[in-house]
Amino acid sequence: MSDKEMRDRVIRLAFGGDPHSFERFCDVLRADLPKKTGAVLRGSAITGVRWSDGAPFDSDGPRTSDLDLTLIGDEVIGLFNSDGFYIPLIHSKPLGDMDPGIAPNLEPLRKKLQAMVGRPVNIQATRDFVTYVREVLLGEPHLPLIEITDTE
């Protein structure tokens, strides 16, 4: 799938077909994230189906499927507590309703994003090379929202 196809699917499935809502979501991320932090969306909002059982997005009812947001960069990794990692200081567990204390400084952003989209939002943090492994070597699709830049 091309980035445009993924973007169109995300807007249709997760943002009620409203591209302006999607852009506002991205604008909030740009404003609230540390510099040199990238962001991608993964999961059923991209693929259209839940990975665990193949059920369609929102198959449990309107706005029941979550958005899987992955943040990429050194500074955002530092926002997670030591017990908030699958791989220490490399790849975090998801910050979400089940574990809201693993990244307390990101919780206000998560709540703001959830209020905007009216659905759960989970946030993970990872290093750039993990994103490469997941995309290129494992073939997991993701939609880039914010590119990492070298500028302040």
| Weakest-pLDDT range from 6-20, 28-42, 49-63, 135-149 | 135-149
Q: Strand 121-126 relative to strand 67-72: parallel, antiparallel, unpaired?
A: parallel
Nearest-angstrom CA–CA distance, 135 and 27: 24
Higher pLDDT, 128 or 7: 7
pTM (two decimals)? 0.90
Q: Kindly report the backbone phi and psi dihedral angles of residue 73, in degrees, each rounded to the nearest multiple of 5, phi listed first.
A: 150, 165
Residue 98 has pLDDT above 60, yes or no: yes
Residue type at 136? Answer: V
Nearest-angstrom CA–CA distance, 81 and 84: 5
Helix or strand run (H / E) with residue 101: none
**Average pLDDT, integer, range 29-51:** 92
